Amino acid sequence: MQGKSKGSATAMKAVCAALFVVFVISYVFFYQCDVLAMTQYAWSDGLKHYDRIVGGVVITSVVFAVAVLTAMFSRLPLRFHTLCYFPSLILLGMLTAVRQEGSSVHGAWGWLAFGFLMLIIAVFSMRAAVSYKAYLQPLRAHSFLSHPWWINGLLFFLQILTVYAMGNNDRTLHTRLAVERYVSQRQYDMALRQGFPQYDNDSALTMLRAMALANTYDRDSVCQLGECLFKYEITGGSRSIIACSDKSNAFLLGSGYGLWQTIGFVPFNRDEHPVVMIGRQLQRERMRQVVYNDTLLSREKRDSVAKPVCSKVAKDYLLCAYLLDRDLKGFAKALPSYYALNDSLPQHYREACVLYGRIMDKTLYHDTSVEADYDDFLSVMRANKNSQLRRSALRDSFFGTYWYYYYMGSGAARH
C-alpha cells in the first residue's frame, strides 16, 4: 500500500512538472517572445537583440531551477505541491509586466509591486502549509481524481491566470511586434497575415504593413502598396507610413533602417511632411536622369549621377501619401508622371481616379467596372441616414476600398 502511495505521489509530481515546463515554453517561446525582445532591445539602448531560442532556454531553465529549489527547501505537503512553482511563475509574470509608450518600455509598477507582495505571501503560505502538514488526515484515495490531484490542479490553474494577468496582454502591441519581427526577417507574406486588420488601430502597424507591401510584388514586378494598402485599417494619415523623429511612430525591435532602405534614402529631417520629403527626392532623381542621358557631358560627369537617390517604390510611397491625406489634386497631378493611365493601374489608384473625376468633374481615367462599384458605394451611403448604420453598411460591403477610407476612415469629415 505504501508503494502505491509513493507511486501516485511521484506520478502527480511528474505531471505537475511537465505541465509547468509546457506552460513556460508556450508562454516564453510563443506568446511573450516579442514582448521580451522589445524589452531587451529598449532597456539595452539597442545594443542587444533578444534571441528567441537562447532566451527561451535560459528563462525556462532558470524558473525550473527556482521551482526545484523551492520544492527541496519547502518540503510542502503533497496536497499543496504546486505551490512550489508559485515563486517561479510570479517571477515569470514580473518579467513580462511591461508597458510601451512610443519607443520607450517601462515596468508596470503596479504589477511589479503585486509580484513582490505575492512572493512574500508565498513564503509565509509555504511555512504555514508545512506547519499544517502534521494535522492533515492520511490520504486514503490514490486515483487520478483523488483530492491531491484536484487541489493541485486548481492551484496550478490559479497561478497560470496570475501570470497571464501580470504579463503584457495588449493585442494590438502583440500584433505590431509580430509584424515587425517578420518584416525584419524579410518574411513579408507572413507579416501581412498577422492580426485582424479591421480592428487594429495603430499608426506603427500602418507603417509596417506599408513597408511589407512595398517589398511584395505581383507578376508584373509592381509593388502591392497601391493595390492593397487600404485593405487594412489606416491610422494617422500620410505620417503613419514613415518613422517619426518624436518616436510616436517607431520601430520596437530594431533601428528601422530597413524602412529607409526600402524607400531608398535616409532623410535629413524626419519632421518633414512625407509628400515634401519623398517628392524632393523623386525630383532629384528626375534631374539626375536628365544629366545621365545628356550625351554632350563627359563620361565621368555622367557616371557621378548613375546611382539612383531613391528606390523604384518611392513613387508609390508618394502617391499613397497623397491618398492618405485625401489630397486628390496632388495625386492627380503626380500620377501621370509615374504610371500610364490604363487598366494596369493598381486598384486603389483606379478608385482614386474615379473619385477625383466625380468630385472635380474631370476625367483622369475611366473604368466602367470601377465606376459601377463607386455608384453602388454611393447608393449604400445615401440609403442610410443614420451615421452608425451607414458606417456599418459601408464597412460590410466596401471596407478595403479607397472610397471607404476617404469617407469613413480616421480623420475623415462626416458626410
Q: From the DSSP assignment, how many helices (H) and strands (E) are in the chain?
A: 19, 2
Strands 98-101 vs 104-107: parallel, antiparallel or unpaired: antiparallel
Q: Which three cell numbers stand for residue 19?
A: 505541465
**Nearest to residue 387, comparing CAs of 373, 407, 405, 359?**
407
Alpha helices by DSSP H, 272-327: 274-292, 299-303, 314-324
Distance linking the first and last C-alpha atoms of the chain: 80
- In this structure, how many other beta carbons lie within 10 angstroms of the beta carbon of residue 203? 19
Angle between helices 2-25 and 147-166 (to 10 degrees): 20
Taking the C-alpha atoms of residue 18 and residue 387, their distance in angstroms, rounded to an integer, is: 54
Q: Which residue reads 550625351 in cell numbers?
A: 295
**Nearest to residue 88, comparing CAs of 71, 67, 70?**
67
Taking the C-alpha atoms of residue 72 and residue 389, their distance in angstroms, rounded to an integer, is: 63
- In this structure, how many other beta carbons lie within 10 angstroms of the beta carbon of residue 235? 18
Q: How would you write the pLDDT of the chain (415 residues) with one tens digit per residue?
A: 444 456 677 888 899 999 999 999 999 999 999 999 999 998 888 888 889 999 999 999 999 999 999 888 877 777 778 888 988 998 999 899 998 887 788 887 787 788 788 888 777 777 776 666 554 555 554 554 557 788 888 889 999 999 999 999 999 999 999 999 999 999 999 999 998 766 677 889 999 999 999 999 988 788 899 999 999 988 888 999 988 766 778 899 988 888 988 998 888 787 888 999 898 888 877 655 544 444 544 555 545 544 556 788 999 999 999 999 999 999 999 999 999 888 889 999 999 999 999 998 888 888 889 999 999 999 999 998 888 898 899 999 999 999 999 998 776 654 4
Q: Please name the residues in contact with 306: beta carbons below 8 A apart, sequence gap of 6 or more.
A: 292
Taking the C-alpha atoms of residue 255 and residue 268, their distance in angstroms, rounded to an integer, is: 16
- Chain CA centroid to CA 49, Å: 17
Taking the C-alpha atoms of residue 156 and residue 73, their distance in angstroms, rounded to an integer, is: 19
pTM score? 0.86
Q: Which three cell numbers stand for residue 328?
A: 486628390
